Amino acid sequence: MRCDVLAVGTELLLGQIIDSNSAWIGEQLAAHGIDSLVQVKVGDNVGRIAKMLRRMLDDSDAVIMCGGLGPTHDDLTREAIAAVLGVDLVLDDVVADVIRDLFASRGRRMPDNNLRQAMVPVGAAVIPQTRGTAPGLICPITIDGVDKVVFAVPGVPHEMFDMFERGILPELKNRAGDPSVIASRTLLTWGESESGLNERLDEVIAELEQAGNPTLAFLASGWNGLKVRLTAKAASLDDCNAVLDPWDARLRAELGELVFGADDESIESVVLDLLRSKGWSLGLAESVTGGLVGARITGISGASSVFRGSIVSYATEVKRSVLGVSEGPVVSESAALEMAHGACRVLGADVGLALTGVAGPELQDGMPAGTLWIGLVWPEGELTHMLRLPGQRQQMRQYSVISSLDLLRRTIG
């Protein structure tokens, strides 16, 4: 069973709204073993919506259309579906009464154009609305002798979530017949480029392609790391895990310490768990990152049991007066180490992590943009590490965050 997604709305194309609905629908379809291979956005134009819907129906068993069911002149999903089905739109009196009653219950006058939401393509079934005014639609269609279906739901997320669960998912399961599950396992890595990871895994990838199940994909996620995702399809979640487990172990063996976590973990949650297991507290001294490391750490519930705080010592005089950095360049090995010691001393922490560098675009202390010095002290030792990070100013700062936390993880783990 294949079900693709068509998101309707010019605002999606203009970037005024991020299409999170399609991502959520894709996640739900995968969880229930329904393949979804294409997600498309189209603007508010009947001809273009209908053209795209026809094209998608050529390849899929079902299409979920999201958005364009409102009461205004630019809500055109109903008209486009009717055009593709070759039928008229007719007023559904039951839906019209529901809309009228909803406005009456709120003591508001109902604009006449709200009755557009009660117009239904001939032959379609309605998914009753429980949270707004626009009902959803289930529209069967036969193409070249093959029975297919078009679903339409509002773009308002909480309305769409509800209709998907009540109306779309049961229909898809009924049409799919044999139940199946799609499950993924994602390994989180740092310290190697995407092409480098691909090269390391060439042999594994060749074996996976021959096996066919599971599949492997890479996803570069900025300062959340490089993700290696395994996806399996089987009759049940237990069967999926049985397929995934040996390949998960194989990837971990090939990638070694590049792997810092899996699935919903993050570099900061992993570091906090590691420090907690050792009974150590953490203090930060941040210059180039301006508090970004501390912000990531405090985003984790329970961080206060480990995290003492962060000194954002952006100005040189603060590095000297608060952290005790000696005279001389502040983007240097010695400054990074003194900042780390200062963080431990001032914050009363067992572990001190410090970052000083050049985000650019200008040189600083003779160092080019992208230079990062990390200082680390812990009860068993101290070290410094220098990196040349790519990217413009903000990207360099973000890479500094994950790079410093990953160094901490590898060092004390």
Q: Is the peptide bond before 329 cis (omega within 30 degrees of 0)?
A: no
Neighbours of 114 (CB within 10 A): 18
Residue 195 and residue 217 in one domain? yes
State residue 134's pLDDT score: 85
Q: Based on the structure, what is the number of domains in the chain?
A: 3
Q: Chain-centre distance of CA 108, in angstroms?
A: 39
State residue 32's pLDDT score: 85
Rounded Cα–Cα distance for residues 5 and 40 (Å): 6
Domain boundary among 149, 176, 203: 176
Helix (H) or strand (E) holding 371, with range, is strand 371-378
Residues of the chain with pLDDT under 70: none
Residue 233 and residue 318 in one domain? no
Residue 162 and residue 219 in one domain? no
Rounded Cα–Cα distance for residues 116 and 75 (Å): 9
Looking up residue 54, the CATH number of its domain turns out to be 3.40.980.10
Residue 347 and residue 215 in one domain? no
Domain boundary among 234, 262, 290: 262
Rounded Cα–Cα distance for residues 352 and 349 (Å): 7
Looking up residue 290, the CATH number of its domain turns out to be 3.90.950.20
| Residue 89 one-letter amino acid | L
Residues forming a β-bridge with 301: none
Residue 279 and residue 404 in one domain? yes
Give how far Cα 48 sits from Cα of 148, 183, 186, Å.
20, 34, 37
Put simply, whether the predicted model's pTM sits higher than 0.85 gets the answer: no
Per-residue pLDDT reduced to its tens digit, 224-269: 999 999 999 998 899 999 999 999 999 999 999 999 999 999 999 9
Residue 309's domain comprises 267-412
Q: Are 37 and 96 in contact (CB under 8 A)?
A: no
Residue 168 and residue 258 in one domain? no
Could you give the angle at the alpha carbon of 251 between the alpha carbons of 250 and 255, nearest 5°? 125
Residue 154 and residue 223 in one domain? no
Residue 310 and residue 400 in one domain? yes
Residue 291 and residue 233 in one domain? no
Residue 248 and residue 305 in one domain? no
Residue 312 and residue 195 in one domain? no
Rounded Cα–Cα distance for residues 154 and 129 (Å): 10
Neighbours of 168 (CB within 10 A): 24
State residue 179's pLDDT score: 73
Looking up residue 235, the CATH number of its domain turns out to be 3.30.70.2860
Domain boundary among 176, 208, 233: 176
Residue 42 and residue 170 in one domain? yes
